[in-house]
Structure formats: C-alpha cells, structure tokens
Chain A
C-alpha cells in the first residue's frame, strides 16, 4: 500500500503542476484583452472619483485625478511590465481570485465572478450528473441486451448508431428538439429553470426538474449509444476470456460467472462513466445555451459574446480543474478497483 500512496502523491502533484501550467497559459493568452478591459475600468473609476468630489478647484481636481489613476493602476498591476502581470494573474487564478466581471452579472446583480459562477455551477452539475447517471444506467442495460445476442437486430443497430451520432452537433439536436417539442408541439417549457413566479417547496423542485427534462432527454439520447456500445464490447471481450471458460468448466452457475465478469470489468466501467461525464460537460456544454439552461454553458455563450475575460477565465480554469481531477481520480481508481494492476510494485 505504501507504493500506492507514493504513486498517488506523485500523480496528484503532477495534476497540480499541469493546472499551474494551464493557468499560466490562460493568463498569457488573455493578457491583452484583460489589460484593455482593466484600463477602461480604471478610467471609469477615476471618472467616478472625480464626480464624487465636490468643492475642489481645478488644480486639486487634477491632483485627485492623477492620484486616483496612479492608485488604481497600481491596484490592477498595470504599472508593471506584462510578464509580471501575467504571473500576477496566474496567481490570482490559482487562488480563485477572479475579480469582477466586465459586463455580466448574477441574477441578484452581483458582478463578482465567483458569485456568477457559483450561481451557474449547480445547474450544470445537476443536468450533467443526472445525464451521466442515466447514460450509464440505460447504456448498461442496452449494452447487456446487445451483448446477449451478438449480431442480433439490437446489436447491429447499436453498432451503427454511434457512427451516425458521432458527427452530430448536440446543440443542433437541441435546436431541433426545442423547436419541435416546445414551439411546434408545446409540450415542454422553452427555457430557464422555473416558471415565473417560482412555486414554493416541493412544487418548485418539480418545476425545476420539469424544465430540465428536455435538455436532459436530448443529451441522454445522444450519449447513451456510445456507452452501450462500449459496454457491449467490454462484455463480449470479457466473456471470451479464459477465466470465464475455466469458471464454467468448474461448473459455476451463470450467475456466479457473471459476478466474476462484473469484477473484471469494474475499472473499465468506471472509466467509461467518468470519461463520459467529463466529455459530456466539455462537449455538450453549448446545449445549455440552446435551452437557455442557466448553467456554465449559457454563461460561456454570454461571456464569449461580450468578451468578458474574468468570467471566461473562471469557467476555463474550472473546466480544466474538473478535467484534471477526473484524470487523476481515474488513474488512482485503477489501482483500487483492479487487483491485476499493481501500481508501484516492482515486477
């Protein structure tokens, strides 16, 4: 176990270093735009300070203006060379100091980036965690059904479908679904999380789920097939392995054989589930924008449109952190779930 611990420590450290590198890269890329918006922020602040002061003569006013400007430039590190500014911004990202947005605000009017993101994050998590759970469940059922009868109708269908769906933009399917089931046939609400006014208590929760249903169905229906296909392949490959033959030869019941097979495929299923979640969040995030589901995806849309760099930095670093954490968890879980993999042990 000692070996595993040192491996885990190294793997986590590696992930953190990667995160640092990415934060540095984001700061570098956005340096120009961020500077521009900060400079206009300084102008705004100075103008406000001048407006707020009364009863000053011209000389005092000029002095105040210059003093405020110098103070603000220092506050935003604009008086330093750009290299230092990039490093400062990286440090800010690493310590979750994203500052204030340049245009977007939370529903309560807060311009603090953390507040804006904190408002959007639960909606995204709710949508995509439900999606991942449903995909794993339904994909698992379909995969097992397809594996039971190789080359049957379902098996063939589910082998061709991922190929067709692979090149399909999820957000386009979202547009179609929204048009069809919300505007042509008004079955589902056309966007948002709640009707106005929000019903209290349990009815509010039901209303929330009701609003989530159409985006959820859309992404589940798209991502389900890939998982089904992977699980089907996993099962047929595992059932063809020698240990299954041995188990059957020993006279174990099919149910007992199944238990062994499940133990063998556990790590792979964990990979499928986690990678599915990560890929879905990064690949289907635009679907949120289509359905006006106020999560990170919708925020992404708005931030890109308005070039709101602080918000973009926050979303990107959050996404990166999520990706990296997922990969680390995955690597570590191999060692725990699969006894055949002995991490750190010398062969």
Chain B
C-alpha cells in the first residue's frame, strides 16, 4: 500500500477518485438544482431557466457585460387607485435597464394564483413614451404560479397594473418579474434549459456505479474462469476458451438493439449485458498469468507435499492472482464508461437517468455542434476523459506495486 502511494500515478489517481467520490456523495449540495436527479427529463421543471446560454463567467468587461444572468425582480408595495366602477387598480413598476445587456430580452411575469387576474402591462421607454404589451385575463388556480412570457426589445421600465373588481380580495402574493438571463450557472444550459453543471455532477454517480460494479464483477468472473481454465486444463480449458472466443468477438450492440425494441433500455439491462460480455476483457491476461503461476516452484512444492488441486488453486494460485486483479479492474473501468457513452450516443442508452453519454447524445441530436454550444459538448466529454484517466492512473499505480520490472 505504501508503495502504491509512493508512485505518482497511483497518488494522482487516488486523489482524483476521492474528488469524484466526494462530488458523487455531496453533489446535490453543490449544484443549484438539487432536485434535478428526479426532474432531469421533466422539461416544465426547468421552465424558468434560459435555453442554450453560455456559462455566467462568460459575462464580463470583455463583452461589455452583455451576458447578464437571470434576475428576479420582486415587486414592492403597489400604488393603489380606485377605478370608476368601484374596483381597485394596483400598479407596480419594475426598472429594467435593458439597454446595457442589449435587446431583446425574455421576461416572464409571475404572480401567485387566486382565481382570475386581470393584468395590464406597458413598457416605459427612456423618452417617457409608453407602449402597452399586455392586456389579458389570466386564470390561475389557487396555489399555482401564473406565468406570462414577454418578449421585450427596448425599455427603461415595465409598468404592471392589476384590476381588482369590487369586493375581490388582493392577490395572495405580489407579482414578480423574471429577467431571463443570457448566461447561467457554472457551465451554462442546454436547449431544454437544463443546467449543465448539475447534469455533469449528477452524472458522476452513474459513471462510478457502472464502472465499479461492472469492472468488479467482470474481472472477478474473468479471474475465476481464467484460473479454472489454466489449472484444470483439458476439456474444461477448451470449453471455456471457445466460449471466450465467442463473447470476445461478438459485439454487445445487437443484443442492446434487440432489447431496446422490446423494452425501454435501462442502465440495469446494460449492466447485465455488460457482465455477460465484458469478462472476456480480463480473461486472456489472467489465463496467461495463471498458466505461469501454476508452474512456479512453491506450488510445485505444495503438490509434492500432497496438496490437492483444489487446495493449490484456492490457497496458492488465486491469492497470487488477486492483487493482479485489482490493476485489471481499475484499467477496465474507462472502457466500460466509454462503451456506455457510445451506446447512449446511438440512442440506446437509459434515457431516464443522467449519464454523460446521454447528455452528449442530446447535444448531438439537438444541434449543439452546428450552433457552437461548446459549453454543452465540452464538460460531459471531459468528465468521461477525466474519469477514464483516474482509473488508468490507479491501474498504473497498482501495476507499479505488483510488477517490479516496470518500476
């Protein structure tokens, strides 16, 4: 263990893994939309975010602060007038200062629901002229939030007036105005208005679970089958090797396609199929190593002393292979994550979870490349690469410990 941490690769891999694990565990605390794991595909959940905008740190003096973030303007106390029919008119003024960020801006007028609301809105321009943009009766159920989207070119402020018929109570809560931003969050948003940073962080858990579970079980299977084939030889050896040949040549894809036609593809079915197929990736190396180990002197000595084959395999060969298995496990993780991403890219992934491959699939399908939405393409791919690097480093660290020649 000490030697593992002495190798720079192993240490770097360990640190990166620790960061990933912390992010996976405490991810919901670090993202602006903690509920996103359940609502990623619920598009109405994201409706107040801007669509396909760059990260908020893109807003700066170099572009004259032309990419402001989303702002929520809360209304102050209303000015009140009495209407001719005895009803009341409540009006609020929202300062806009749109000129600086550059038109146009999307505004969303929000108000608490309480039955019918008769709303009028007009824009006040810098020269004092006004322009009516809204005059409508909006029906909103009690407890719901009413939303009226407005598209504004140029204005100094917005004047909102609500008419209350005689005897009608005041709205439960005052209205507010959402100035939809031209930049958002740490990594921007996608076309469906989802926060990319949230997606990237919440994608870690699936990458880790997938990588850990599949690599552990497949390498374990490969280890056992490789040992059995090498130590028992004969008929068992040739059968296992034929099966290996079949599964190593057979692509996983046809099975996934056949499955996705009948069922909704899920991460679990992908995992099950991966278990069936990916043990071949570690089998051959384990097999070759086991063939060497079983001929080593101390095992030969054990045989001379009357140790049976079962004893030799379980007490001598497997323990010698086990640490070696760790390196293989770590090294097999990047391939698994990569495969899931490729499958997702083809549209055969689990569309009910957030995985990086799924995000990239959305990006490809929804034109992120053509529209140059780099903040949508870069982070998921970089995460895949970084996760791959983490396990490659860990694997190299194990290798340094176990393989004295490479030290």
Contact = CB atoms under 8 A, between A and B. Distances in A.
A324 B249 contact: yes
A184 B370 CA distance: 9
B77 interface: no
B106 to A, nearest CB: 25
Contacts of B392: 163-164, 166-167
B334 interface: yes
B342 A286 contact: yes
B334 A166 contact: yes
Contacts of A25: 246, 250
B73 interface: no
Nearest to A309: B257
Point out which of B250, B341, B372 has the most chain A C-beta atoms below 10 A from its C-beta. Answer: B250
A164 B381 CA distance: 12
Contacts of A157: none
Interface string A306-332: 010000100010011001100000000
B246 A175 contact: no
A33 interface: yes
Contacts of A176: 374, 377-378, 381
Contact of A175 (B250, B261, B360): B360
Contacts of B255: 29
B254 interface: yes
A172 B369 CA distance: 11
A175 B249 contact: no
Interface in A160-214: 163-164, 166-169, 171-173, 175-176, 178-179, 183-184, 190
Contacts, number: 111
B369 A175 contact: yes
A166 B372 CA distance: 26
Give the bracket for the number of chain A residues in contact with chain B: 35 or more
Contacts of A169: 338, 341-342, 345, 360, 381, 384
A22 interface: yes
A319 B337 CA distance: 23
A190 B372 CA distance: 13
Interface residues of B, number: 41
A159 to B, nearest CB: 10
Given A26-B254, A29-B258, A169-B341, A183 B370 contact: yes
A305 B257 CA distance: 9
Interface string B324-347: 000000000010011001100111
Contacts of A323: 249
Contact of A320 (B249, B341, B372, B381): B249
A40 interface: no
A147 interface: no
Nearest to A25: B250
A166 B388 contact: yes
A168 B364 contact: no
B372 A184 contact: yes
B204 to A, nearest CB: 14
B348 interface: yes
Interface in B250-268: 250-251, 253-255, 257-258, 261-262
A310 to B, nearest CB: 13
Interface in B226-266: 245-246, 249-251, 253-255, 257-258, 261-262
A241 to B, nearest CB: 15
Interface in A10-63: 18, 21-22, 25-26, 29-30, 32-33
26 contacts: A18-B246, A25-B250, A32-B261, A32-B262, A33-B261, A163-B392, A163-B396, A164-B389, A167-B384, A167-B385, A167-B387, A168-B385, A169-B345, A169-B384, A171-B345, A172-B377, A179-B368, A179-B374, A183-B369, A286-B342, A301-B346, A304-B257, A304-B346, A307-B261, A312-B254, A316-B251
In order of increasing CB-CB distance, the 10 nearest A-B pairs are A167-B388, A167-B334, A172-B381, A163-B392, A168-B385, A179-B369, A29-B258, A304-B346, A29-B254, A33-B261
Interface of B: 245-246, 249-251, 253-255, 257-258, 261-262, 334, 337-338, 341-342, 345-348, 360, 363-364, 368-370, 372, 374, 377-378, 381, 384-385, 387-389, 391-393, 396
